[in-house]
Amino acid sequence: MANYLPTYTSTPTPPKSLTDQRTSRKKDQIDKKTLEIHRSPDTEIYKNMQDLSDELPDNSPRFVLLSYPLTLASGRQSVPYVMLNYLPATCNQETRMLYAGAKELMRNQSEAGRILEIGDAEEVESIEEKLQGED
């Protein structure tokens, strides 16, 4: 069996930084030339999903790590840690392929429990309903 080299790399991140991601929202990008995933220094905590939705670009994909507190139908408190794979329909095919190839690497390194596929910024506002189904 032939050995292969990984296509994508991620910027070195100490474990503390990954832990910090659990309490904030980060938007990550891929450098097309080096195929390196760059972690955004953005650690803004959004007060609602509308604000996050407004920040997402119209024509460019993003990985968003999200920790969102909610109360389940059973009354239990939950704070799921998920990765949003934001892939708008208006982005070009090359960019879509870059993000599709790096999705699992990003999930593994961030230790997100689940990937939610988002195709439109307005879908971000309905994240709570998707997370309610997670038990």
pTM as predicted: 0.69
Average pLDDT over residues 62-80: 85
Q: How confident is the model at residue 45 (pLDDT cuts 50, 70, 90)?
A: confident
Instruction: State the CB neighbour count (10 A cutoff) for residue 57.
Output: 14
Burial of 80 (0-12, 13-18, 19+ CB in 10 A): buried
Reply yes or no on whether the pLDDT at 12 is more than 70: no
The larger pLDDT score, comparing residue 84 to residue 43, is at 84
Average pLDDT over residues 28-41: 72
Q: Sign of torsion, CA 88 43 72 63?
A: positive
Whole-angstrom distance, CA of residue 39 vs CA of residue 28:
5
Instruction: State the CB neighbour count (10 A cutoff) for residue 118.
Output: 22
CATH superfamily name and code, 9-132 = Severin (3.40.20.10)
The pLDDT value recorded for residue 87 is 92
